[in-house]
Amino acid sequence: MRQKIAAGNWKMNNTLEESIALANELVAAGSPEGVLTILGVPYVYLDKINQIVSGAPGIEVAAQNAHQALSGAFTGEISVKMLSSLGIKYVILGHSERREYFAESDALLLSKTNTALAEGLLPIFCCGEPLAIRKSGEHISYVINQLKASIFQLSAEDFKKLIIAYEPIWAIGTGETASPEQAQEMHAEIRAAIADVFGDELAQEISILYGGSVNAANAKDLFARADVDGGLVGGASLKSDVFIQVMNGFQ
C-alpha cells in the first residue's frame, strides 16, 4: 500500500502567532489513521512548528526549499545540513514558483535532490506544465521530460525515497483545478514512466501527490483516483478547518 499524504505548503504566509495557532489546531485534530500529514513551513518558523508537532502521530514538517551546497558564502540561503540539524525530515524541491520566479532548472533541481538525499532529507519533488503546454496537448511529454532531465537520473535506491507532486501550473492559486480524470491521467503516465526506468515494483511504491487548488470540496474525489495518493495543498492549508477536511479526504 502506498503512503497516503496530505501535504500543506504555507508558502510566504502567516505571522509566527498565526503559524503557532494553525499548528496547534492541526495537532489537536490529529492526522487521520494511515495518513501522513506534512506541513511545508517558512524557514523562520521551522524550529517552532517542529517542536509543536513533535510527538504528534502522523504529522511532520517540511522546508519549502534548500540550497544545493552544504555550506558556503550564499547569503540568505538555507542548507540541508541546517535543516537536518533542526530535525526536519522533508523538503519541497522544484515547486513551480521556484522554477518560474527563481529560474531553477532541472539540472539544479537534480543537484539539490542529491544533496538533500545525501544528508538524509526526503524530497517532495514537484513537476508540472504551464497552460500553453496543456493547451498544445504536449503536457504529458513535457512533464515526463522534466523527470528525465532530473530525478530519473537517480539510482533506484535513492529514487524510492522520493515523494512526487504533480502540479499543473495553470491550476495553482487560480481557483482552477484539473478534473479528477485529468489528474489521474497524468499520475498514471508518471507512474508508467517510473516503471519504464526503475521497474513496476518500485513504481507502485511511489506516492504521487496532486497539487493544483486542492480544497475541501474536491479532495475526496481527487484522492479516490487510483494513482492519486494525496495532495500538495496551497491556500487551503492555511485554514485549519479546511485543511482538516482535506486530511480526511481519503475516507
Phi and psi angles of residue 135, each rounded to the nearest 5 degrees, phi first: -70, -30
Q: What is the pTM of this model?
A: 0.96
* Cβ count within 10 A of residue 177: 21
Contact 161, 181 (CB under 8 A): no
At 15, list the grid cell.
505571522
Say if residue 43's pLDDT is above 80: yes
* Burial call 225-237: b when 16+ CB within 10 Å, e when fewer: bebbbbbbbbbbb
What type of residue is 28? A
Say if residue 25's pLDDT is above 80: yes
At 118, list the grid cell.
545525501
> Which one from 67, 95, 139, 187 is the annotated catalytic residue?
95
> What is the per-residue pLDDT across 123-146, written as a single tens digit (0 to 9) for each?
999 999 998 899 899 999 999 999
- Give the C-alpha separation, 156 to 198, whole Å: 6
Check if 167 is active-site. Answer: yes
Q: DSSP secondary-structure letter at 5?
A: E
At 250, list the grid cell.
481519503
> What is the per-residue pLDDT across 201-246, written as a single tens digit (0 to 9) for each?
999 999 999 998 899 999 999 999 999 999 999 999 999 999 999 9
What pLDDT sits at residue 175?
A: 73
Residue whose entry in the numeric block shows the C-alpha cell 478534473: 179
Phi and psi angles of residue 244, each rounded to the nearest 5 degrees, phi first: -60, -40
> Which one from 97, 104, 129, 167 is the annotated catalytic residue?
167
Check if 25 is active-site. Answer: no
Give the helix, strand, coil percentages of the chain, each rounded to 5: 45, 15, 35
pLDDT level of residue 84 (50, 70, 90 thresholds): very high
Say if residue 150's pLDDT is above 80: yes
What type of residue is 186? M
Please state the CATH superfamily assignment of the domain spanning residues 4-250 in this structure.
Aldolase class I (3.20.20.70)
What pLDDT sits at residue 191?
A: 98
What pLDDT sits at residue 178?
A: 81
> What is the per-residue pLDDT across 88-108, written as a single tens digit (0 to 9) for each?
999 999 999 999 999 999 999
CA distances to 68, 79, 81, 94, 104 from 71, rounded to whole Å, are 9, 6, 8, 20, 19
